[in-house]
Amino acid sequence: MTDVVKSYPPSEKGGAPVVAIDNVSVDVERGDVYGIIGYSGAGKSTLVRLVNGLEKATSGSIVVNGTEITSLKERSMRAVRGDIGMIFQQFNLFNSKTVAKNVAYPLEVAGRPAAEIAARVAEMLAFVGLSDKAKNYPDQLSGGQKQRVGIARALATSPSLLLADEATSALDPETTSEVLALLDRVNRELGVTIILITHEMDVIRSLATKVAVMDGGQIVERGDVFDVFAHP
Ligand code: ADP
Ligand code: ADP
């Protein structure tokens, strides 16, 4: 991102526009685990929504995998989004679909052949350690298991970038460690770049290599995790 501004229009009651992202430049490189930390309202979610094109920047430039996305039409944006996986605080699984069907979903949307989908679903469930849960429904899983399904679904189409928005914030500390260990394997074994949004410093400490601290829509500090957190 270079000099990105995102302002939301004033509410119906009037007033000033909300500047959610205030002239942010940030460079995430392939293979990074890049942490974005900040309090509620700092602009973290907006930043992520700009990267996957769910929000349009008011000004500035955003390049994802070599493609400048700020002026893309929706159809071209879908192609860029195909190379981005996303996981969420509340997992966002389909409760009426089995675990296998949840993981299969993005492959079905992409129109992959049934045999390829079956093989890929099996592969992803093995990777996250849930092969024995393929026929279960999300309601029958623990929070940590649900997020592992979320990770399997996010990576089913082999994206090169994973956006994790408060992905461990609904989990207890032990389960958080398990999910962070899995994300570490996603980065190291699959080579997936991860942008990790969180309000928890421990999450950044245990997984990220680089960190940007956001406040009021700006990056107020950034660098290697060790350096940034060595001088609190
Ligand atoms: P964070 O993820 O760090 O909590 P957000 O990106 O959600 O921060 O919000 C940043 C600012 O933008 C906040 O002031 C928030 O109220 C505002 N905001 C976020 N989404 C919208 C929206 N759709 N319309 C208007 N204001 C918004
Ligand atoms: P349906 O019976 O409606 O196809 P399933 O949940 O049985 O729903 O299958 C969803 C997808 O996951 C299918 O592509 C299927 O081939 C695959 N699948 C089903 N069970 C497993 C399993 N145990 N391991 C791996 N893939 C599976």
pLDDT of residue 229: 85
- Helices 99-109 and 143-155 cross at an angle (nearest 10°) of 20
The sign of the dihedral angle between the CA atoms of 146, 151, 154, 158 is negative
CA gap 62, 67 in Å, rounded: 8
What percent of the chain is modeled with pLDDT above 90?
91
Q: 189 CA distance to ligand 2 centroid (A)?
A: 25
Does the CB atom of residue 121 touch ligand 2 within 6 A? yes
CA gap 66, 156 in Å, rounded: 22
Residues 6 or more apart whose CB falls under 8 angstroms from that of 90 comprise: 170
**Ligand 2 probe mutation, 117, 121, 140, 157, most atoms within 8 A of CB:** 121
Q: Is the pLDDT of residue 219 over 70?
A: yes
Q: Are 39 and 215 in contact (CB under 8 A)?
A: yes
Question: Which atom of ligand 1 approaches the CA of 165 most closely?
Answer: 2
> Which ligand number lies closest to the CA of residue 156?
2
Write the residue with the smallest CA distance to atom 12 of ligand 2: 100
Does the CB atom of residue 118 touch ligand 2 within 6 A? yes
> Which ligand number lies closest to the CA of residue 136?
2
As a whole number, the mean pLDDT across the chain is 95
Does the CB atom of residue 97 touch ligand 2 within 6 A? no
pLDDT of residue 123: 98
* Residue 162, beta-bridge partner list: 85, 194
Q: 20 CA distance to ligand 1 centroid (A)?
A: 6
pLDDT of residue 14: 81
What is the band of 12 on the pLDDT scale with cuts at 50, 70, 90?
confident
Give per-residue pLDDT as tens, 96-121: 999 999 999 999 999 999 999 999 99
Can you tell me the ipTM of this complex?
0.70
CA gap 210, 167 in Å, rounded: 18
Give Cα separations from 156 to 49, 120, 127, 206, 208 (angstroms).
20, 7, 11, 25, 23
**Ligand 1 probe mutation, 13, 46, 214, 219, most atoms within 8 A of CB:** 46
What is the band of 232 on the pLDDT scale with cuts at 50, 70, 90?
low
Q: Is the pLDDT of residue 230 over 90?
A: no
Taking residues 71-81, report their average pLDDT. 90
Token pair, residue 59, equals: 């000004």
Give Cα separations from 15 to 10, 12, 25, 168, 224 (angstroms).
6, 9, 27, 35, 39
CA gap 107, 95 in Å, rounded: 18
Query: In b/e form, how buried is each residue of 74-94, taking b as 16+ CB within 10 angstroms?
Result: eeebeebbeebbbbbbebebe
Write the residue with the smallest CA distance to atom 13 of ligand 2: 118
pLDDT of residue 231: 60
